[in-house]
Structure formats: structure tokens, C-alpha cells
């Protein structure tokens, strides 16, 4: 039986299962030495592309959309993420964790593997993370908190409890939890405003891509 057929069994499965699989692979990063974090990231990126491909026909709202609001939100979230970073404590932000996030220290300065894994990270955080996370949080979780039969809840309906619960859980997924919460609130607002997921996916991709470039340019490995 194909993955797509398995995922098509219920409306919930293609919106939840890919995110859970991606999260499990993320949990394996670094569990077998510093280098394993990079090989696991490569694996989850490849698996993530496969999951996006498998779920694409099953989740109609998983469609990229470009708008001026998406660009503004993407740039605004990027600025917020960087600017507030010095002013609150983080989850698991140890010196060793930050050093292990720098592939130049793990594989050697400007080594082919370091360059390769930097490229993989940029691709994964830009093309894979946004659709999987936005579908799970903004399409599924926000509406599921409101109603078990979540497809009955319009994407543009503002509901206070789901709005803040979803943003809170989204933030707790990230080391930079406060930036994550504010980011979750902003992306959810964008979905509510546009009544579609694609703008939030685009904004998410813009933020992640530019944050990744900032990390490499400034050596700000704490963001990875």
C-alpha cells in the first residue's frame, strides 16, 4: 500500500502524521554524536520532501501563495526573532549545543561536508518546514482545538482559545520559545486575514531562509 493511500484514510492523517514523523526524526538529531545531527537533518529533509509530495493532493490548503502581506510578515518576523533574542532565557541553549550547530567546527572550516550540510539546512528550513508546520498548526490544530470535526471550521474564523493555544504550542516547539509564540500569533493572523494557508507558508519560508542566511553570515549558530 502506498504512503499516499495510507494518508488518505481520514482528513486528520495527512495533516498530522507527516508532522509527527518529521518531529520524531528531529528528536534523533545529535543523539549519536555531533555529526549525527547533520545526517538526521539530511534524512528528515529528504523524508519531508517525500511527505509533502504524498500529502499535496490530500490537503487542498497546502498551496503556496504570494502576497505583499506574506512578504511583510516574513521580514517582520525575521527582524523580531533577531532583535528580541538577547532579552529572554532559552530552552537547552548550552555552549555545547551552539558549538555543535556550527558545521565548520564539526566537519572542519569550509570543508565540503560543512558546505553541503549548510545547503541542506537552508533547503530544509525553507521548503520543507513551512508546509509541514503550517498545515499541522494552522490548518489542523487551530481548528481541532475549536471543534473535533475541524474541517467545519473556516480558516478565517477568529477564535481566541485556539488562537493563543496554537501559538503557545508552536512557540514551545522552538528553543527561542518567546519568538516562536509571537511568530505563531503572526502567522495565524495572516491565515485569518487571507483565509488560506499559502501566505503563511510563504512568510514562514521567507523568515526561515533569511534567518538561515543571517546565521551563516553572522555566525549566529544559536538560532540553529
Residue-range definition of the domain harbouring residue 111: 62-223
The number of residues making up the chain comes to 224
Read off the pTM: 0.95
For residue 25, being part of any structural domain is answered with no
**How many domains, the chain?**
1
Distance CA(184)–CA(190), nearest Å, equals: 10
For residue 34, being part of any structural domain is answered with no
Burial of 95 (0-12, 13-18, 19+ CB in 10 A): exposed
For residue 11, being part of any structural domain is answered with no
Would you say residue 69 has pLDDT above 90?
Answer: yes
Q: Output the pLDDT for position 135.
A: 98
> What is the pLDDT confidence band of residue 2, given thresholds at 50, 70 and 90?
confident
DSSP 3-state of 203: helix
CB 184 within 8 A of CB 173: no
Q: How many CB atoms lie within 10 A of CB 72?
A: 13
Q: Output the pLDDT for position 98.
A: 86
| Residues ≥6 apart with Cβ < 8 Å to 132 | 18, 19, 22, 48, 51, 52
CB 200 within 8 A of CB 191: yes
> What is the pLDDT confidence band of residue 95, given thresholds at 50, 70 and 90?
confident
pLDDT, mean over the chain: 95
For residue 75, being part of any structural domain is answered with yes
Would you say residue 3 has pLDDT above 90?
Answer: no
For residue 29, being part of any structural domain is answered with no
C-alpha cell at 125: 528550513
> What is the pLDDT confidence band of residue 109, given thresholds at 50, 70 and 90?
confident
Residue that is written with C-alpha cell 508546520 in the block: 133
> What is the pLDDT confidence band of residue 65, given thresholds at 50, 70 and 90?
very high
C-alpha cell at 46: 529528504
For residue 108, being part of any structural domain is answered with yes
C-alpha cell at 203: 512568510
Distance CA(43)–CA(45), nearest Å, equals: 5
C-alpha cell at 162: 485556539
CB 11 within 8 A of CB 140: no
> What is the pLDDT confidence band of residue 116, given thresholds at 50, 70 and 90?
very high
Would you say residue 1 has pLDDT above 70?
Answer: no
For residue 86, being part of any structural domain is answered with yes
Please, what's the largest Cα pairwise distance for the chain? 53
CB 64 within 8 A of CB 201: yes
Three-state SS annotation for 67-80: CHHHHHHHHHHHHH
For residue 97, being part of any structural domain is answered with yes
Amino acid at each position: 500500500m502506498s504512503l499516499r493511500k495510507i494518508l488518505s484514510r481520514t482528513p486528520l492523517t495527512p495533516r498530522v502524521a507527516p508532522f509527527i514523523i518529521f518531529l520524531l526524526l528531529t528528536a534523533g538529531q545529535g543523539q549519536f554524536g555531533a555529526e549525527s545531527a547533520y545526517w538526521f537533518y539530511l534524512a528528515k529533509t529528504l523524508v519531508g520532501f517525500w511527505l509533502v509530495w504524498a500529502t499535496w493532493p490530500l490537503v487542498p490548503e497546502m498551496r503556496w501563495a504570494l502576497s505583499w502581506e506574506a512578504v511583510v510578515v516574513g521580514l517582520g518576523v525575521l527582524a523580531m526573532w533577531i532583535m528580541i533574542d538577547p532579552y529572554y532565557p532559552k530552552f537547552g541553549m548550552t555552549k555545547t549545543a551552539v558549538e555543535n550547530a556550527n558545521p565548520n567546527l564539526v566537519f572542519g572550516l569550509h570543508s565540503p561536508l560543512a558546505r553541503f550540510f549548510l545547503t541542506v539546512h537552508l533547503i530544509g528550513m525553507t521548503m520543507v518546514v513551512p508546509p509541514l508546520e503550517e498545515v499541522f498548526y494552522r490548518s489542523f490544530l487551530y481548528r481541532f482545538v475549536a471543534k473535533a470535526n475541524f474541517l467545519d471550521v473556516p480558516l478565517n474564523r477568529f477564535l481566541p482559545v485556539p488562537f493563543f493555544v496554537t501559538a503557545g504550542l508552536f512557540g514551545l516547539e522552538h528553543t527561542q520559545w518567546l519568538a516562536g509564540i509571537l511568530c505563531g500569533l503572526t502567522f495565524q493572523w495572516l491565515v485569518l486575514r487571507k483565509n488560506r494557508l499559502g501566505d503563511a507558508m510563504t512568510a514562514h519560508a521567507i523568515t526561515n531562509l533569511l534567518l538561515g542566511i543571517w546565521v551563516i553570515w553572522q555566525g549566529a549558530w544559536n538560532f540553529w
